[in-house]
Structure 1
Amino acid sequence: MPDRGEAKRQVMLDAATEVFSERGFVGANLDEVVAAAAVSKQTLYKHFSDKASLFREIVDQIGKQVDGALLELPDPATIEDVDAWIHTLALRFTRLVMDPKVQRIRRLVIAEAPRFPEVADAYWKGGFDRVLGTVGEHFRALTEAGKLRAEDPQLAANHFAGLLLWIPSNHTMFSGRPDVVTDEELQRFAKAGAEAFLRAYG
């Protein structure tokens, strides 16, 4: 279990995520973060040197959460029904990336990329690009096991993500509402994307 200091730090990160998501970087006020986390400013500055470092930490944490959820994929040898597995993976992947918290941070990172290009680059490399690498290596192993036909596994991983996320992610980005797409719609997009992927690579 995390110690009290780590637990308090997480509370501050969660509060800051909400404030930054609502206000953007420029509009975010650390007084609001302090109030939402029920801590003192002294406590906040003990963990984060300034607003920029707090923003960087939020982005880094979200990227790691997305990647961590997909790190443990099953051994291809244990997958008996690859079609069923691709459908399962598609729904997991879609729900993970379309999580409202992830989408809010994604929009924030895009908006603040000119101000914090290094943060945007780190988010891409440590988050979505790393996830695609994990999925690509999984597709490589499935291909080597004779269960997929992905000559370029990394390209296949990008196709997989695009088939699943093009509609809901764009709808979310342009609407400004991270919850605009329902879970029922996500299930439909995941199912259709998995079927299209299997027609190409199954």
Structure 2
Amino acid sequence: MGRAQPFLQRVDGVISVDDRARMFYQKAVTIWLTGLSGSGKSTIAYELERLLMSQGHPCYVLDGDNIRHGLGGDLSFTPEDRHENIRRVAHVAQLMNDAGLIVITALISPMHEDRAMARDIIGPDRFVETFLSASVDECARRDPKGLYAKARAGKIPSFTGVSAPYEAPVHPDLRVETASESKEASVAGIFNYLSNSFLTTH
């Protein structure tokens, strides 16, 4: 992808980060959910969004499947296109954070390098790598979309955990044991983390 032309300059607005934080009673942050297909990313993302909104905290979910219908609709699942998909999502998340929102991404994002790129784009103080830990066998047992069965039958190429690698975070900012925890417990753990570092009371 091309870079911005050298004659282009950034234009700063008059509303500061602190202004938006005071308005929304929160510090902008991206909760970057990563994990295998079936580990619970979308389920937890939308439950966390519901909980945050019920407490008056503006937020938005960037779900990997939804992104592929629009922003990433021209991309395949090669390593290069996965990298580009994550780059695009990270820039959208960064813009939403600039607007003062909490962003929750739900993408497999299997490679260390790509998640590190996302952290650099969004900013390390706004990026919370959140590993939804569940084994391939557990995710295949759940198989909510029937994808593991299709991948093992050779019907889906480059499927993470079957025919493509997943590099689990070594030192995630937050680890959620979705194989053993209930949905409610997983969401509560992330919400408590946010409450301690990013949320203020109305």
Q: With structure 2 as the length reference, what TM-score do the two structures score?
A: 0.30
Name the structure, 1 or 2, with higher relative contact order (CA <8 Å, separation 6+): 2
Higher strand share: 2
Q: With structure 1 as the length reference, what TM-score do the two structures score?
A: 0.30
Higher helix share: 1
